[in-house]
Chains A and B, each alone.
Chain A
Amino acid sequence: MLEQLLIFTRGGLILWTCKELGNALKGSPIDTLIRSCLLEERSGAASYNYDAPGAAYTLKWTFHNDLGLVFVAVYQRILHLLYVDELLAMAKREFSEIYDPKRMNYNDFDETFRQLRKEAEARAEELKKSKHVGKPVNDGKKQGQVKKGGFEVGNKKKSEANDGGDGDTGKSYKLENGHSNGNHVNIEGSRAVVANSKENASSNVGAFDVSKLQKLRSKGEKKTDTVVNKGSKVHPKKKITKKNRVWDDSPQESKLDFTDPLEENVNENIEVVGTDHGESMMDKEEIISSDSEDESEEVGKESKPDTKKKGWFSSMFQSIAGKANLEKSDLEPALKALKDRLMTKNVAEEIAEKLCESVAASLEGKKQASFTRISSTVQAAMEEALVRILTPRRSIDILRDVHAAKEQRKPYVVVFVGVNGVGKSTNLAKVAYWLLQHEISVMMAACDTFRSGAVEQLRTHARRLQIPIFEKGYEKDPAIVAKEAIQEAACNGSDVVLVDTAGRMQDNEPLMRALSKLVYLNNPDLVLFVGEALVGNDAVDQLSKFNQKLADLSTSPNPRLIDGILLTKFDTIDDKVGAALSMVYISGAPVMFVGCGQSYTDLKKLNVKSIVKTLLK
Chain B
Amino acid sequence: MEGMEQWRNEAKQWLQQGIEYAHQIPPTQLYAAAAVLLLTTLFFLIIRLFKRTKSSTIVLTGLTGSGKTVLFYQLRDGSSHQGTVTSMEPNEGTFILHSESSKKGKIKPVHLVDVPGHSRLRPKLDEFLPQAAGIVFVVDALEFLPNLRGVSEYLYDILTKASVVKRKVPVLICCNKADKVTAHSKEFIRKQLEKEIDKLRVSRSGISEADVANEFTLGIPGEAFSFSHCSNKVTIAESSGLTGEISQVEQFIREHVRP
Q: Which residues of A does B touch, CB under 8 Å?
A: 6, 8, 10-17, 30-31, 34-35, 38-40, 68, 70, 104-105, 282-286, 387-389, 391-395, 397, 399-400, 403-404, 438-439
**Nearest-neighbor residue (CB-CB) of B150 within chain A:** A395
Task: Flag if B207 contacts A438 (CB, 8 Å).
Answer: yes
Q: Which chain B residues lie closer than 8 Å to A39 at the CB level? A: 88, 118, 120-121
B123 within 8 A of A: yes
Q: Beyond the given A11-B69, A104-B81, A395-B153, could you list 5 further A-B residue pairs with CB under 8 A, ordered by the A residue number? A: A13-B84, A34-B88, A35-B118, A39-B118, A391-B119
Q: Scoring B residues 129 to 143 as 1 if CB is less than 8 Å from chain A, else 0, what string do you get?
A: 000000000000000
Question: Could you say which of B159-167, B198-206, B232-240 contacts chain A?
Answer: B198-206
CA distance A282 to B82 in the complex (A): 47
B residues near A16, Cβ cutoff 8 Å: 82
- The reply to whether B203 and A403 contact each other, CB–CB distance below 8 Å, is yes
Interface residues of B in 6-53 (CB under 8 A from A): none
- Contact B89 A35, beta carbon cutoff 8 Å: no
Given contacts A10-B87, A400-B203, are A17 and B210 in contact (CB under 8 A)?
no
B83 interface residue per 8 A CB criterion: yes
Distance in Å from the Cβ of A322 to the closest Cβ of chain B?
Answer: 22
Q: Are A34 and B85 in contact (CB under 8 A)?
A: yes
B121 near A11: Cβ-Cβ < 8 Å: no
B94, CB-defined interface residue at 8 Å: no
**Quick check: is B149 within 8 A (CB to CB) of the other chain?**
yes
**Which residues of B, 123-179, contact A by the 8 Å Cβ criterion?**
123, 149-150, 153
Question: Which residues of B have CB within 8 Å of A391?
Answer: 119-120, 122-123
Cα separation A295 to B203 with both chains bound (whole Å): 38
B73 contacts the other chain (Cβ, under 8 Å)?
yes
Cβ-neighbour of A17 out of B73, B82, B91 (below 8 A): B82
* Beta-carbon contact of A11 and B90 below 8 Å: yes
User: Could you tell me the distance between the alpha carbons of A31 and B116 in the complex, rounded to whole angstroms?
Assistant: 13
> Within the complex, what minimum Cβ distance (angstroms) separates B139 from chain A?
17
Q: Is the CB of B121 within 8 A of A388?
A: yes
On whether the beta carbons of A14 and B83 are closer than 8 Å, the reply is yes
Bound state CA distance, A286 and B207, in angstroms? 14
Cβ contacts under 8 Å, B84 to chain A: 8, 12-14
Q: From B77, which residue of chain A is reached at the shortest CB distance?
A: A104
Q: Counting chain B CB atoms within 10 Å of each CB, which of A17, A40, A395, A438 scores highest? A: A395
Taken together as a complex, chains A and B put the C-alpha atoms of A392 and B200 apart, in Å, by 19
Interface residues of chain B, those whose CB is within 8 Å of chain A, are 64-65, 69, 73, 77, 81-91, 114, 116, 118-123, 149-150, 153, 199-200, 202-204, 206-207, 209-210, 212
The number of A-B residue pairs with CB atoms under 8 Å apart is 103
Known: A35-B118, A39-B121, A438-B207. A12 touches B85 (CB 8 A): yes
Least Cβ distance of A247 to chain B in Å? 49
Alpha-carbon distance between A72 and B116 when the two chains are bound, in angstroms: 20
Q: Are B81 and A393 interface neighbours, CB within 8 A?
A: no
For the complex of A and B, list the 8 residue pairs with the smallest distance between their C-beta atoms, beginning with the closest: A12-B87, A283-B210, A11-B91, A12-B69, A10-B89, A34-B86, A14-B82, A12-B84
Q: How far is the CA of A68 from the CA of B91 in the complex (A)?
A: 11
Chain B: minimal CB distance from A440 (Å): 9
Q: Cα distance A6–B199 when bound, in Å?
A: 43
CA distance in complex: A395, B123 (Å): 14
Nearest CB of B to A92, in Å? 17
**Judging by beta carbons under 8 Å apart, are A15 and B119 in contact?**
no
CB distance from A289 to the nearest CB of B (A): 14
CA of A284 to CA of B212 in the docked complex: distance in angstroms? 9
Query: CA separation between A16 and B85, bound complex, in Å?
Result: 12
Residue of B nearest to A398 (CB): B203
* A104–B74 alpha-carbon span in the complex (Å): 13
Bound Cα distance A523, B210 (Å): 32
Give A506 to B36 CA distance when docked, in angstroms.
81
Docked Cα-Cα span, A40 to B199, in Å, equals 31
Q: Which residues of chain A are within 8 angstroms of B83 by Cβ–Cβ distance? A: 14
Q: In the bound complex, what is the Cα–Cα distance between A140 and B158 (angstroms)?
A: 63
With known contacts A104-B81, A286-B212, A399–B206 Cβ distance under 8 A: yes
B157 to chain A minimum Cβ distance, whole angstroms, is: 10
Q: From B87, which residue of chain A is reached at the shortest CB distance?
A: A12
Q: Given the complex of chains A and B, what is the CA–CA distance between A104 and B77 in angstroms?
A: 10
Name 6 interchain pairs, CB-CB below 8 A, sorted by A: A10-B87, A12-B85, A31-B65, A282-B207, A284-B210, A399-B206
Residues in chain B near residue A284, CB distance under 8 A: 210
A283 and B82 contacting across the interface, CB-CB below 8 Å: no
Q: How far is the CB of A432 from chain B (nearest CB, A)?
A: 16
Q: How far is the CB of A22 from chain B (nearest CB, A)?
A: 13
A328 to B199 CA separation, bound complex (whole angstroms): 51
- Neighbour of B206 across the interface among A14, A15, A31, A438, CB < 8 A: A438
* CB within 8 Å for A105 and B81 given contacts A11-B90, A391-B123, A393-B119: yes
Specify which chain B residues have a CB less than 8 angstroms from the CB of A392 in the assembled complex: 119
Chain B proximity of A61: nearest CB distance (Å): 12
**A390, closest chain B residue (CB):** B120
Bound-complex Cα distance A601 to B10 (A): 76
Contacts of A68 in B (CB 8 A): 89
Task: Kindly list chain B residues whose C-beta atoms are within 8 Å of the C-beta of A13.
Answer: 69, 73, 81-82, 84, 91
Q: Which residue of B lies closest to A394 (CB)?
A: B119
Which chain A residues lie closer than 8 Å to B120 at the CB level? Answer: 39-40, 388-389, 391, 393
Smallest CB gap from A72: residue in B: B85
CA–CA, A285 to B204, complex, Å? 15
Closest CB in chain A relative to B81 CB, distance in Å: 5
Q: Give the CA-CA distance A14 to B86 in the complex, in Å.
A: 10
Q: Considering the chains assembled together, what is the distance between the CA atoms of A6 and B85 in angstroms?
A: 10
Closest to A13 in B: B84
The answer for the CA separation of A404 and B200 in the assembled complex, in Å, is 10
Within the assembled complex, what's the spacing in Å between the Cα atoms of A139 and B252? 68
The distance from the CB of A214 to the nearest CB of chain B, in whole angstroms, is 33
Contacts of A439 in B (CB 8 A): 206
Docked Cα-Cα span, A68 to B114, in Å, equals: 16
Bound together, the chains give a CA A39 to CA B122 distance in angstroms of 12
Measured CB to CB, the nearest residue on chain B to A400 is: B203
> Nearest B residue to A104 by beta-carbon distance?
B81
Cα-based distance from A387 to B204 in the complex (angstroms): 24
Contacts of B73 in A (CB 8 A): 13
| B32 smallest CB distance to A (angstroms) | 43
Which single member of B81, B114, B150, B209 contacts A14 (CB below 8 Å)? B81
Q: Are A12 and B88 in contact (CB under 8 A)?
A: yes
Nearest Cβ on chain B to A101's Cβ, whole angstroms: 10
Please determine whether A282 and B210 come into contact, CB atoms closer than 8 angstroms. Answer: yes
Q: Looking at the assembled complex, report how far the CB atom of B116 sits from the nearest CB atom of chain A, in whole angstroms.
A: 8
Contact assessment for A8 and B123 in the assembled complex, using a CB-CB cutoff below 8 Å: no
Closest residue of chain A to B92 (Cβ to Cβ) is A11
